[in-house]
Every structure is written in structure tokens, then in C-alpha cells.
Structure 1
């Protein structure tokens, strides 16, 4: 009974932390997709903590298990949002979650009449959970190197690892025997401990001091030699706890604007740090806290898009293919270039070029001139 009391106490504390996260998020009136998915994950954590606790009524398994089966999909979507700043939720993402829940209810309700079907369906559901967990893990590895937010790199990865552990636990139990892990089973106390650790890590992420971000034109202020602007940037840095070397920002600005190093194929943050002869973490901090970028690719793309805009607006380059301009600017393929360009300008490269060149074209002969006044 002593271990059971500890188990229940940890689950109660976990539910309280997750509930507080939801309330704080609502109080902040955060409506972005990361906040919404964070609340969904917190609600899922509360639901799992309660329904998998000892003494939870077995009569409720038929409706709790299908809802628990949707947690891997929520974790997958959260990982996409947390590790990919360009990710946007679509309607089909909600359809995937709804489909998993519907399938879970189907196999749960069919258990008494068609046990063989339900058992096979449970294994399919577990396989889906494993696939989603692997997809989320791939997303973590894929975007790890370009993430500039040091706090996010450490904290979210820890939370994510614990969530993956729970998915593996549920999926492993399902593949072995049951559609989902049996609530209140022999692994109840380890699960309670893991839940509590996950809740505390999530709480640190939400309630901890937010990393300060400097003004986006810090580099321009430092490189321009404008003393008044440099003073403003310095005051902002001191106030918000930013400790970025102004000389490093000036050297970085020279590399990007004068030497145009962003055009180098396969440029990575480690290569740029080596070129500047500084540790990678210092360069990551300078770009994040000094310039306000959260992603290294977004930092590079800003310069590349500006480069491409100049080329697309140049009448002398009107016959140069868009792909050539994209490659010259540093992009390795046309797809990422088109997406980044439209996100920045609201137009495709071809539309931008057409509009820019049309505005430069001289009026046709015989066309009446517009009177002023």
C-alpha cells in the first residue's frame, strides 16, 4: 500500500502541474499552434495519469483506451511544431487524430463479439503509434543542428525523450497482448515517476524565465557605426540579460553582406563558426539573442531571399532562369526556394519578377501620359 500511495501521489502532482500549465497558457491568451498542442499534450498527460492509475474502474477501459491511443499522434504533431518553426497545422492532421480515436473505439466495442478482430486491430494501432514515434524522432534529429534556441534544444529534447518512452511502453504492451497498456498494471509506479518528471520538465519550460531576444537590426546598428543606435542596442542587451559580443556581430555581418558566405553550398553553422574562429554555441547565441533568429536556415534564407530579389528585379537578368538565380543565392533546389520566397514576400519568384520588371518597363509609344495635378 505504501508504493501505491506514492504512485497515486505522483499522479496527483503530475495532474496538478499539467493543469497549471493549461491554466497559465489560457491566462496568457496564447492561441498559436504550439500553445494549443502543448495544452492538448498536458490534457493527455492528465488523462493518462488518471486512467492508468491503480484502482481505476475496469468498466471504463472501453472508452479510455481509444482516447489514449490518440496520444502518439498528438506527440508527433507537437514534435513537428516544436522542432520545425515553419510547420503549419492542416485539417488532415486533425482527421488523422480523429481517425485513430474512431478506430480505437471500433476495436474496443468489438472486443466481446469479435475478439480476434479487436486483437488484430490493437496490433495495427500499436504499429501506427510506433510509426508516429519514429516520425517524431526523425523530425528531432533532422532539425537539431539548425536550432538556435539553446534552451529549446535541451529542454524540449528531454521532454520529447520521455514522451517517446511512454509511446514505446504503450505500443510494446499492445504488440505483445493488448490494444493499449493495461491501466494499473505492474509498471504503474515507473510510469507515474516518468509522468512526474515529464510534467516537471514541461513546467520548467513554461514557467522559467524566457530567453531574451534582441532587436533584429542589432547587426546593422553595430556595423553602421551609429553611436546612438549602438547605445540603444547595448542598453537593451543589459536590460534583458543578453551577452552578445558586438565585435562578433560585426564580423558576422561582414561575412554575410560583403563576402556573401551564404552562397556557399551546404553551409552549416559549424562551418560558419570555424570561419569566425568562435565556438559553435557562441555563434548560435549571437544569431539567436543578438539578431532574433530561432533557426539557422531562416537566418541564411533572409540573406538569400534578399539576394534573389535583387537578381529578379534586374532587367539585365530577365532571361536568367529562376532556378539559376536560386542556386546562385545559395539554395540547393527550387522547392525550398519557392516556399521560402513566398513566405517572405507573399509572391512566387515568377510573380515577383513579373511585377518588378513591369514597374521598370518604359511606357509604350503612343500611350498617353498621366497628368499630374
Structure 2
């Protein structure tokens, strides 16, 4: 088999696998994976030093544009895999939008004159920002991830993407942006596909957010259950917005693995934050339905329910309850007291 034939096989097989995986994708991350798969197909179509093997015409131009967006959708897809309910917001959306605009200009979407302005170095800088942000987010929430396989994968995602970015940066600095031998392109294509295939295999099913914390199953350790109820129902530790999983484990007085198994396998939560938010939203419901708190600002309700900020309170409450806190309060205070009590049980 010649290097040219191997190049074609790797790229064709990779594109086929990406399309097949995008069609079969059924998880909440599906929109991000479909966008990523389209961008990677564009990348594979052009990532070869042999111009005769690249797409030409309008399809070739489209492939070049899509390839320029791959980094953004890889970033967002990684976040969606590890964060239930992820949506690009704030700076994450802004940086992604800036990348798409700069990449569009750099790839000639707005004319060949602007494409020669050396914007690729700006994209490398943005790439460093995105990888740094991803590493921070994945490691920040790692201890509270109650799914063992996914918790370990956080380390690998950070290590692999950091190593890839560092290698590409060193090659660009030493050998230039146009250096692209066939062997390097083949290895790069195969490595990227292997990483995406592995990442998509972590697409673990997540339990739906409970509207109220479920009772422990009958076969759960009664001593652990009693201690859990003491902390959550009596001590109400979830009202502390700074509560960490490590602090909670110490308060439980049990091995970390045992506490993880109780919350994840027995109660059905995939992350410690999701577990706490179920109790916090339950407390928020009570406060929002209390006529004595009818004039309180929502930020006061958020803080008194254990949330660290009003935006996080609004987002989590809407995700669990299906409506914003203001709408819930209006509905509850409009009902007779007897109906309010029924709604809380």
C-alpha cells in the first residue's frame, strides 16, 4: 500500500465513521456532535499535502470553511459531554463567535485580500484560551463527578488536547504554518478521529433532573442514609454555596467511594452539584411560595436557597422546574394556601 493510498483510506474511512456516528447520536450532546462531525469532515477533505486529493470547486471551498470552525465545536462538544445541560453562554459564546468570524476571514470567506493578513496566529492564541478554559472547567468540577469513568476521562481530555495544541504550536513556530508532510497529515487525521471516537464513547446516559430529591432505596446502608438525611434535612448543608464534595465526604464520615456510590448508584445523580441543586431548588420552591417572602427580590431567594449567583439560580430552576422562578412564584401565590401545600408534596 502506497502512502497516497493510505492517506485516502484514512480520510475516507474517517469521514464515513463521523457521518455514521452523527446519525446514530441520540444524546443531549447531539447538536454539538453533528456540527463537530461536519467540521471534521471538512478538515479531513483538505488535510493532505497532495492537492490532487483535495476537493475542488464549491465543495472544496465549503470544506475549507467548515474545517476552520472545528476547534470551536470540539471545545463546545467536550464541555457538553461533561456538563449536563451545557449551552454556550457569556464569554464561552463570545470567544466561539470571535473564532468563527476570524476563521471565516482567514479562510477567505470575505475575499482573498483579507485572507492574507496572518490571522492564523490570532487563532492560535484563541486556541490557547479555549484549551485553558476547558482544562479549568473539567478539573474544577472533577471531584464532584460521580461517574468513575467520566471523572478519569477529564484528565485524559485535558492531557490529550494540551499535548496536541503544544505539538501544533511548536511545529508552527519552528517549521512554519505551511509545513505538512504526508506522514504527519495521516497521523494527525488518525489521532484526531481516535480521540473523537473515544470521547463520543463517554456519552453516558444521565438521569433526568429530579423535581424533588428521591428517597434512598430500601437496600441502602441505613447508617449512611441516616447521616445523609441529618446533613440534608436537619443541618441543611446544601444552603452553603461553597460546599465541596470533599467537605461533604468528611461530614458523612464514610469513605469517598462509598459516598459516591450512594449518591450516584443509589440516588441516581451523576454529579454532586446536581445532587445539591435538587435540594436547593426544593428550598427555593418553598421560599417562592411563601406569602411572607412575596416582596423579596429573587437574588435574596437565590442566596437563601444556597445558590452562589442569580444567573445560576435562574438557569438551574428553569432546567428542573420548566419555568423561571418569577413565573413559579406568581403561580404559587395566586393559588389558595391548600393548593400550594398540595403542590409541594
Q: If the TM-score is normalised by the length of the shorter chain, which range does it land in?
A: 0.7 to 0.9
Partner residue, 2:341: none
Q: Is residue 303 of structure 1 aligned with residue 279 of structure 2?
A: yes
Moved more, 272-281 or 168-177: 168-177
- Name the SS of the counterpart of 2:335 in structure 1: helix
Contact 1:81–1:87 (Cα < 8 Å) also in 2 = yes
How far did 1:73 drift?
A: 1.0
Aligned ranges for residues 44-83 of structure 1 at < 5 Å?
A: 44-45=39-40, 47-49=42-44, 51-53=46-48, 55=50, 57=52, 63=61, 66-83=65-82
Provide the rounded CA distance (Å) in 2 between the counterparts of 1:219 and 1:342. 19
CA displacement, residues 319-350 of structure 1 (integer Å, 9 cap, x when unaligned) = 55544433232223333223323333344434
Provide the rounded CA distance (Å) in 1 between the counterparts of 2:238 and 2:265. 20
Q: Is residue 184 of structure 1 aligned with residue 181 of structure 2?
A: yes
Partner residue, 1:103: 105
Contact 1:149–1:288 (Cα < 8 Å) also in 2 = yes
CA displacement, residues 156-195 of structure 1 (integer Å, 9 cap, x when unaligned) = 54245434433444455455675x5644356446535633
1:69 and 1:172, CA in 2 relative to 1: closer, same or farther beyond 3 A? farther
Contact 1:130–1:168 (Cα < 8 Å) also in 2 = no
How far did 1:303 drift?
A: 0.8
Aligned ranges for residues 1-373 of structure 1 at < 5 Å?
A: 4=3, 8=6, 12=9, 16=13, 19-20=16-17, 22-27=19-24, 30=26, 32=28, 34-45=29-40, 47-49=42-44, 51-53=46-48, 55=50, 57=52, 63=61, 66-89=65-88, 98-106=100-108, 110=112, 118=116, 120-155=118-153, 157-159=155-157, 161-174=159-172, 178=176, 180=177, 182-184=179-181, 187-188=184-185, 191=188, 194-195=191-192, 197-198=194-195, 201-202=198-199, 204-205=201-202, 220=215, 222=217, 230=218, 245=221, 247-360=223-336
Provide the rounded CA distance (Å) in 2 between the counterparts of 1:171 and 1:65. 20
Moved more, 149-158 or 69-78: 149-158
- Name the SS of the counterpart of 2:116 in structure 1: helix
1:38 and 1:218, CA in 2 relative to 1: closer, same or farther beyond 3 A? same
How far did 1:291 drift?
A: 2.0
Provide the rounded CA distance (Å) in 2 between the counterparts of 1:289 and 1:89. 29
Provide the rounded CA distance (Å) in 2 between the counterparts of 1:203 and 1:132. 20
1:186 and 1:109, CA in 2 relative to 1: closer, same or farther beyond 3 A? farther
> TM-score by structure 1 length?
0.69
> TM-score by structure 2 length?
0.74
Provide the rounded CA distance (Å) in 1 between the counterparts of 2:23 and 2:160. 25
- Name the SS of the counterpart of 1:86 in structure 2: coil
Contact 1:304–1:329 (Cα < 8 Å) also in 2 = yes
Contact 2:216–2:267 (Cα < 8 Å) also in 1 = no
The two structures, once aligned, show a CA RMSD in angstroms of 4.2
Provide the rounded CA distance (Å) in 1 between the counterparts of 2:110 and 2:222. 62
- Name the SS of the counterpart of 2:287 in structure 1: helix
Provide the rounded CA distance (Å) in 1 between the counterparts of 2:30 and 2:255. 33
Provide the rounded CA distance (Å) in 2 between the counterparts of 1:284 and 1:80. 22
- Name the SS of the counterpart of 1:124 in structure 2: helix
Provide the rounded CA distance (Å) in 2 between the counterparts of 1:193 and 1:322. 51
Provide the rounded CA distance (Å) in 2 between the counterparts of 1:75 and 1:95. 14
How far did 1:308 drift?
A: 2.1
1:40 and 1:355, CA in 2 relative to 1: closer, same or farther beyond 3 A? closer
1:126 and 1:221, CA in 2 relative to 1: closer, same or farther beyond 3 A? closer
How far did 1:261 drift?
A: 1.7
Gaps of 5+ in 2: 339-345
Paired residues in the alignment total 330
